[in-house]
Amino acid sequence: MAGGAVGRLPFSFIIKPYMLRPGLAVCGFLISVMAPVCAAQPGEHDPPSSSPVVQHAIKLAETGHCAEALPSLKKSLAQVTDKELKRNVSINGVHCAMSLNQPDAALTFLQVLARDFPRDPDVLYLAVHAYSDLSTRAAQELAQNARSSYQAHELNAEALEVQGKWDEAAREYQAVLQQNPRLPGIHFRLGRLLLSKPNPGPTVAEDAKKEMDQEIEIDPSNAGAEYVLGELARQAAQWPEAVGHFSRASKLDAGFGDAFLGLGSSLLSEKKFPEAITPLETAVKLEPANPAAHYSLAIAYTRSGRKQEGDKEFAIHRQMMQSSQPAGTADQEPQAGSPQP
């Protein structure tokens, strides 16, 4: 394969499930979302779900008496029917469960909040900090209890990758392979590192290809590795090879929109216009906000004699580009190798 710089992969590809880069937040658990409550003492015969009992538990939580409050908050969660009261119970429950290092209880309260208040800004803010703190605690426990394990090296590599420390991350991934040479996903990540570097060397494409080939030998179901191989082949104008890799990636992951777009674009470059229509229609369905998908589908329709449908897709593409770019800028160019209208 010819040398030279390799273009960065599409953002939607980067965030596919099997290639996600974990982002371990470093912020602490700062909770300031506590609703005011009435201080009321429960009556001796009040049922557990009554408002005075529940609000007494909330008051205990807000004044720092979490060990006393949490059992009542847990019990009342399933019994409270008033929506605002359940919200207060859950918010205070998260706070107390995190303070007492009871992650299972915290997750239970968070699940209730996510289900019943999915768009509440206070709830979303609370969830960000809670999940961040849970992640940080788990990472600390891994470092303390299994510092030399391949899992600890992998976690370090992921964190370094997020920071853009490519060489340090690569060394950590190599340490993982020394302990577990056939661990799925590691060669893929090493190849991704090579392609992510801002100033890759002249052999980057060939080196990344070797890593992806090794990944597929270990894990034939890795759609991400097939996609990268397809991109590398497409950028080298090796259309049949690109079609093969994109086709396999799309079969391995039916929701992988970029794989369908790559397949359709490569078929366009081979001038197989009717064959390109089906994968490009799928790409548009999976990624309706992707202008490149509409543009490529427009070409496929037009070159297949379906001018009316092609004009419709061209119009969608124009409208998307006009609404997303400042006046005077050029429209987004199609993928390399795609024929012009």
**DSSP states along 162-192:** HTT-HHHHHHHHHHHHHH-TT-TTHHHHHHH
> Does residue 330 carry a pLDDT above 70?
no
Flag whether 65 is in a domain.
Answer: yes
For residue 322, CA distances in Å to 52, 98, 283, 310, 318 come to: 58, 48, 21, 18, 6
DSSP state of 19: G
* Claim to verify: residue 233 and residue 260 sit in the same structural domain: yes
At 340, the pLDDT band (50, 70, 90 cuts) reads low
* Claim to verify: residue 6 and residue 153 sit in the same structural domain: yes
* Claim to verify: residue 250 and residue 337 sit in the same structural domain: yes
Cβ neighbors of 95 (< 8 A, separation 6 or more) are 31, 34, 61, 66
* Claim to verify: residue 234 and residue 335 sit in the same structural domain: yes
* Dihedral sign (CA 71, 72, 75, 80): negative
pLDDT tens digits, residue range 316-325? Answer: 999 999 987 6
Domain boundary among 172, 200, 219: 219
DSSP state of 122: H
| Predicted pLDDT of residue 214 | 98
> Does residue 203 carry a pLDDT above 90?
yes
Q: What is the mean pLDDT of the chain?
A: 85
- Reported for 124-133, long-range contacts at CB under 8 A and 24+ positions apart, including other chains, are 125/33, 126/31, 126/33, 126/91, 126/94, 128/25, 129/27, 129/28, 129/29, 129/30, 129/31, 130/29, 130/31, 130/94, 130/98, 130/106, 132/24, 132/25, 132/26, 132/27, 132/29, 133/28, 133/29, 133/98
| Predicted pLDDT of residue 62 | 93
> Does residue 10 carry a pLDDT above 50?
no
| Predicted pLDDT of residue 199 | 85
* Claim to verify: residue 213 and residue 227 sit in the same structural domain: no
The encoded tokens of residue 172 equal 């950590």
Rounded Cα–Cα distance for residues 107 and 126 (Å): 12
> Does residue 329 carry a pLDDT above 70?
no
More confident residue, 174 or 45: 174
Rounded Cα–Cα distance for residues 100 and 220 (Å): 44
- Count of C-beta atoms within a 10 Å radius of residue 341: 11
Q: Is 81 exposed, middle or buried (0-12, 13-18, 19+ CB in 10 A)?
A: exposed
- Count of C-beta atoms within a 10 Å radius of residue 39: 11
> In the Cβ-directed half-sphere of 232, how many Cα atoms lie within 13 Å?
26
CATH code of the domain in which 96 resides: 1.25.40.10
Identify the domain containing residue 89 by its residue range.
51-145
pLDDT tens digits, residue range 97-124? Answer: 999 999 999 999 999 999 999 999 999 9
Q: At what angle do helices 186-196 and 150-162 cross, to 10 degrees?
A: 20
Query: Do 223 and 252 meet the contact criterion of CB atoms below 8 Å apart?
Result: yes
Query: Domain count of the chain?
Result: 3
Q: At what angle do helices 166-179 and 150-162 cross, to 10 degrees?
A: 160
* Claim to verify: residue 228 and residue 239 sit in the same structural domain: yes
pLDDT tens digits, residue range 22-73? Answer: 333 333 333 333 333 333 344 443 444 457 889 899 999 999 999 999 999 9
Of 14-28, 132-146, 166-180, minimum mean pLDDT range: 14-28
Rounded Cα–Cα distance for residues 113 and 126 (Å): 10
* Claim to verify: residue 231 and residue 334 sit in the same structural domain: yes
* Claim to verify: residue 97 and residue 179 sit in the same structural domain: no
Domain boundary among 145, 170, 185: 145
The encoded tokens of residue 294 equal 């509409």
* Claim to verify: residue 180 and residue 235 sit in the same structural domain: no
Q: At what angle do helices 186-196 and 204-218 cross, to 10 degrees?
A: 160
* Claim to verify: residue 230 and residue 341 sit in the same structural domain: yes
| Predicted pLDDT of residue 66 | 95
* Claim to verify: residue 168 and residue 253 sit in the same structural domain: no
At 7, the pLDDT band (50, 70, 90 cuts) reads very low
Query: Do 284 and 293 meet the contact criterion of CB atoms below 8 Å apart?
Result: yes
